[in-house]
Structure 1
Amino acid sequence: MTRSKILITGASTGLGAAMARDFAAKGRDLALCARRVDALEALRDELATAHPGVTVAVRGLDVDDHAAVPEAFGELRDELGGLDRVIVNAGIGKGAVIGSGRAAANLATATTNFVSALAQAEAALAIFRAKRAGHLVLVSSMSAVRGLPGKKAAYSASKAGLAALGEALAVELAKSPIAVTTLLPGYIATDMAAKAGDARMVAPLDKGVTAMVRAIEREQTRACVPQWPWRLIDLALPLLPAAVVTRMST
C-alpha cells in the first residue's frame, strides 16, 4: 500500500527533514511540523523547487503544547485532503545525572519524548480510526533497549516508554486496517548523535534515513535501523553485564 499523504513532526532539521526529502523524492505529499517555522518554510521551498508535483504544507507546532497537537494535525489533514501516515519524530536529547540539581533537563526530555509523543499518537489515531485506515510511526531509539545510567537515564527511559507504547498499539491494532511501526535508530549523523556516542558507530545521514524509510515503507512492526550493527546490538544489549553497559554509556 502506498501512503501518499504523510505528516512528520520535528521536520525542520535532522532526521525529520531528511525523511521529508526522501519521501518528497518518492512523490509523496507532505505535512511538516516543528517549532522553527522559518526552517520549515525554507525546506518547503527547497522541496517545491526539486519536486514541483509534490504538495508540502507546514505548521509551526510545539508538541509540548498538547492541546495544539490535534488542532495542527486536523488543519494539515484538511489542507492535504487526508493523512495516510503520521511519523512521530519530534524529540530532544537533554539529560543530566538524576539528583544532580538539573531536574529541568530530565523533565523536559521525559515530557517531549514520551508524553508529547503520546499526545501525537492520540491525535493521529483519532484521524485514522475515523477513516478506518492509516499508518502510525513512532521514532524511538536503540537507547530504549536497556536502561542507560548517568545523564542518559531519563532519555533511555523516555524512549523505552515510547517503544512500549508502540508495542501495545501494534498488538491492539494488529487485526485492524491501522498499522503501527516503532523505529529504533542507532547513531545516525545528526547534531544529537554527534554528542551521543562513538563516532565509529555513527551512520551517515543518508544511509541512516534510507534504512528508516525502508522500514517505514515495509510497515515493519519494530525495526532497528540501520540494521547493521544495531540488530545485533538489540539482541546483545539486554544480556551484557551492568559494568559493560556503564562503560558504553560514558
Structure 2
Amino acid sequence: MNRRRVLVTGASAGIGAALARVYAQRGWDLILTARRTPALVALADELMATHGIEAVVIPADLADPQAPAALTAEISRRGLSVDGLVNNAGFSRTEGFLKADPADHAAMIAVMLSAPVALSRMLAPAMVERGYGRILNVASLAGQMPATGGDTLYGPIKSFLIKASQGLHLELAGTGVHVTALCPGYTLTEFHDANGTRQEVSAAYPAWMWQTADHVARVGCDAVEANRPRVTPGVMNNVLAGLAKHLPDAVALRMVGGHARRLKRI
C-alpha cells in the first residue's frame, strides 16, 4: 500500500515530535530530521512499532546553509517522495540583541527563515506535479505581535514565515497543495528550557494559558488539511493576536514591553 510521506524538521522533541506522532497516527510515513540522532531514532522506533508506518531518520543541522539541499538530495537518493512538509525546526536567544553571539543570530535566520523557504521551493514543484501536497509552517503567536525586546529577532522571523505562508497559500490555490502557518502561543515543550526562560515564563503566566504540544499539533494538521492559510490554537491566543492587530502601536509596544520585563529580558 502506498502511503503519504511527510518530512518533519525539528522532529526530535516538542511540537515537531508531536506533529510526527499525529501524522503517524493518521497513517503517514515519516522522514524525521533534526540534529539529535538518538532522539530521532527513538521516536522513529516508537512510531513504527505503535502505528506500523515507515519512519526514516536523516539527521541535519539546518543552521548550515547547505543543509536543505543536502537533505533533499539524500531523500531523492533513497527514492522517497515527499507529500507533506512540516517546517518546524527553531529556537530563540533571549539574552538581548547586543549580547547574543552574531553566529546565533545567523543560525536563527538560517533555521527558521531560510530553511523553510528553501525546502518549500525544493519540494513544492513535485507536489504540484502530483496534484497533492501539504506544507505546514510552524510560526508563532509572536509573529502576530510586536517584537519583544530581549528576544528581538524571533517574532520578526515568525512574522515573515506567516506572510510567506499566506503568499504561497494563494499562489498554490487550485493545485492540490495546501499551505498553512501554525501560530501556537505558550506550549508545554522543552523550548523554554533550551532558551533559559523556563523559570520566568512558568512564574509569569498561569497554567490555563499553556497548551500541550499534542493539542497544537492536531490543530495544525487539521488546519493544513482544511487548507486554512493561518491557524492560532486557543481562544486567548486569538484574543491577544486580535488586540495586537487593532491596538495603537504605542499601546501594543507597552504590552509586549511588560511581557519582556516579566521575563526579566529588558
TM over 0.5: yes
Which amino acid letter does the alignment assign opposite residue 255 of structure 2?
Answer: V
**Pair 1:48-2:48 in alignment:** yes
Contact 2:64/2:110 (8 A) holds in 1: no
The equivalent residue for 2:215 is 207
CA contact (8 A) 1:163 1:182 kept: yes
Contact 1:29 1:55 in 2 (8 A): yes
Is the contact made by 1:96 and 1:105 (CA closer than 8 Å) also made in structure 2? no
Output aligned runs, 1:141-152, within 5 Å: 141-152=140-151
Deviations 1:18-68 (Å, cap 9, x if unpaired)?
A: 11112112221111111111111111111122122x111110111223333
Change beyond 3 A, Cα 1:80–1:221: farther
Change over 3 Å in CA distance of 1:46–1:101 after alignment to 2: closer
Deviation at 1:128, TM superposition (A): 2.2
Structure 1 counterpart of 2:255, from 212, 230, 244: 244
* Residue 136 to residue 148, structure 1, CA distance change in 2 (3 Å): same
Q: Could you say which residue in structure 2 is the equivalent of 1:167?
A: 166
CA contact 1:95–1:106 (8 Å) conserved in 2: no
Which residue number corresponds to residue 229 of structure 1? 236
Q: d(CA) in 1 for partners of 2:79 and 2:86? A: 16
1:98-177 aligned at under 5 Å gives the runs 98-100=97-99, 102-177=101-176
Aligned to 1:12: 12
Conserved? CA contact 2:19–2:214, under 8 Å:
no
Q: Distance in 2 between matches of 1:15 and 1:29?
A: 18
Amino acid at match of 1:218: A
- Displacement of 1:174 in angstroms is 1.9
1:177 Cα deviation from its structure 2 partner: 2.7
Counterpart Cα distance in 2 of 1:116 and 1:164: 15
Secondary structure of 1:185's counterpart equals coil
Which secondary structure does the structure 1 equivalent of 2:91 belong to? coil
**Where do 5+ consecutive residues of structure 2 fail to align?**
262-266
- Residues 210 and 137 of structure 1, relative CA distance in 2, 3 Å threshold: closer
State the shift of 1:199 in Å: 4.5
Bigger mean CA offset, 122-131 vs 235-244: 122-131
User: Match for 1:27: what amino acid?
Assistant: G
Structure 1 residues 76 and 67: alpha-carbon distance in aligned structure 2, compared to 1, 3 A threshold:
same
- Could you tell me whether the CA contact under 8 Å between 2:65 and 2:110 is conserved in 1? no
Normalising by structure 2, we get a TM-score of 0.83
Does structure 2 conserve the Cα–Cα contact (< 8 Å) formed by 1:193 and 1:202?
no
Aligned in 2, Cα 1:110/1:66: closer, same or farther, shift over 3 Å? closer
* Percent identity for Structure 1 against Structure 2: 26
SS at match of 2:217: helix
Cα drift, residue 11 of structure 1: 0.6
Gaps of at least 5 residues in structure 1 are none
1:218 lines up with 2:226 in the alignment:
yes
Q: 2:153 is paired with a residue of what secondary structure?
A: helix
